[in-house]
Amino acid sequence: MPLKDTFLQRYDVAVIGAGVVGCAMARRFALEGARVVLLERGSDILAGASKANSAILHTGFDAPSGSLELECMQAGYREYLQIHTRFDLPLLRSGALVVAWSEEDEQRLPGILAQAHDNGVDDVSLIDRKRLRQLEPALAANARAAISVPGEHLIDPWSTPLAYLQQALAHDAKVLREAEVASGDFDGEWWRLSTARGTLMAREVINCAGLHGDRLEHRLLGRSSFTIHPRKGQFVVFDKAAARLIERIVLPVPSERTKGIVLTRTVYGNLLVGPTAEEQQERDHAALDQAVLQGLIAAAVERIPALAGVPVTAAYAGLRPATERKEYRIENYPDRHWISVGGIRSTGLTAALGIAQHVHRRYAERHRHSAVETPLWPKLPNLAEHRERDWQRPGYGEIVCHCELVTRREIDAAFASPLPPGDLGGLKRRTRVCMGRCQGFYCGARVAELSAGHFTRALAEPLVANRRGGSHGKDHADD
């Protein structure tokens, strides 16, 4: 080993990429007793695919039977249900309905039911038009029948990975942001990784780089086992009043390529319609398209006529790290001390904990540590509307964002937390500030004051960028 490497920081595991998968991975390995570093190129976590999704905790009822994806989803689902209360994370037990809107859709329902049973999701049932109307009276009259999936739930897509990572931090993991991994050398035992924040050594690398996972693999291993084909999903967020119109997640009968357009409440109290499934080359920016958004609004009104005229709060888009094949691309290279977690396309929020279990089992075939005996459970602030929010408790000081009722105390707590936000997007995801009807028009100046000195990039930049997008500034991929 070169003498200069003797002085470098050493870790058992370097996880590259702080999306939901990387955060769950860092947690699993820290709990298993490994010295972990998580390297993220963005100024905050969730800078890639994980910043924008539908926030559904899936049962796996319609996942490919016998697949690794199904195994990871169901393991992730079970673990989330076991641990969410320890972190104080919300769970909205909404259930879902796969609704048939045409005769053709209706003919496919028995097949969906059979697949759900094959996948071990036994509490699903076929319901007729009359029962469907009783359950969801706001659905349009052409809703013909449905499969009820009571186990599909809604979660907080941003506090969840943050909780995973905070637990990793509590068990001595290290997180480096603005630490893009540019290159690396492997000497048969150790990886020497060069990042934008310096060089470090790791015995094992776990590539969780999402939309850039193939490029990272190619750069460091000289080849890549998969190719990312980003698939954009645009969403429209209706005003909070609309969330009263449905109880359950309304799913379409899915196609080969996509789960299709979903109508769902969010834990934040909105009604969401989306996502689209649009192939694109660009990996970092998910542009919004007025015509597509209008199409989503029209589709939503077609399914729930009472949505006609309901104001739209925001629109946003996310990118799925899809590959040339449908399945997860988890590749183990034991002789290179490297595991790639690629192609976690459209179920990663659910599956992240299960993927981390799976990857740890592969790793444990070559390295073992003493697992943490008594895990620490950091509590996350609640942002869900169905539970008590901070403004409902005395002593909050000041309401900073009147649309989302975000308090000064919540913003201060975010900055004082073990992983403070690194940019405005991160502050929004931790508190919901600037994410309501006015999209920061009224509270932006106050947020800038409170954030002064906390971000590496001046706050004026993203606020201006958001304004350019008009009402579409929620948390789009240019944040």
Ligand X SMILES: Cc1cc2nc3c(=O)[nH]c(=O)nc-3n(C[C@H](O)[C@H](O)[C@H](O)COP(=O)(O)OP(=O)(O)OC[C@H]3O[C@@H](n4cnc5c(N)ncnc54)[C@H](O)[C@@H]3O)c2cc1C
Binding site for ligand X (CB under 6 A): 16-22, 39-42, 47-50, 52-56, 58, 180-181, 208-212, 216, 233, 275, 318-321, 344-350
How near is the Cβ of 130 to ligand X at its closest, in Å? 29
How near is the Cβ of 112 to ligand X at its closest, in Å? 18
Question: Max CA-CA distance within the chain?
Answer: 76
**Which residue number, 293 or 406, has a Cβ lying nearer to ligand X?**
293
How near is the Cβ of 260 to ligand X at its closest, in Å? 12
**Which residue number, 17 or 421, has a Cβ lying nearer to ligand X?**
17
How near is the Cβ of 103 to ligand X at its closest, in Å? 28
**Which residue number, 113 or 319, has a Cβ lying nearer to ligand X?**
319
27 burial via Cβ count (<10 Å: 0-12, 13-18, 19+): buried
**Which residue number, 52 or 116, has a Cβ lying nearer to ligand X?**
52
**Which residue number, 348 or 440, has a Cβ lying nearer to ligand X?**
348
How near is the Cβ of 48 to ligand X at its closest, in Å? 3
294 burial via Cβ count (<10 Å: 0-12, 13-18, 19+): exposed
433 burial via Cβ count (<10 Å: 0-12, 13-18, 19+): buried
CA distances from 96 to 70, 136, 251, 324 (A): 18, 11, 7, 29
406 vs 411: CA distance, rounded Å: 8
Show Cβ contacts of residue 333 under 8 Å, excluding neighbours closer than 6 positions. 221, 339, 340
**Which residue number, 47 or 459, has a Cβ lying nearer to ligand X?**
47
**DSSP secondary structure of 320-363:** E--BSSSS-EEEEEGGGTEEEEE---S-HHHHHHHHHHHHHHHH
**Which residue number, 352 or 406, has a Cβ lying nearer to ligand X?**
352
Give the residues across from 39 on adjacent strands: 16, 176
How near is the Cβ of 154 to ligand X at its closest, in Å? 9
How near is the Cβ of 265 to ligand X at its closest, in Å? 13
How near is the Cβ of 246 to ligand X at its closest, in Å? 16
**Which residue number, 57 or 450, has a Cβ lying nearer to ligand X?**
57
297 vs 261: CA distance, rounded Å: 11
In this structure, the dihedral spanned by the alpha carbons of residues 436, 442, 445 and 448, taken in order and rounded to 10 degrees, is -10
402 vs 400: CA distance, rounded Å: 6
| Angle, vertex CA 86, rays to CA 81 and CA 87, nearest 5 | 95
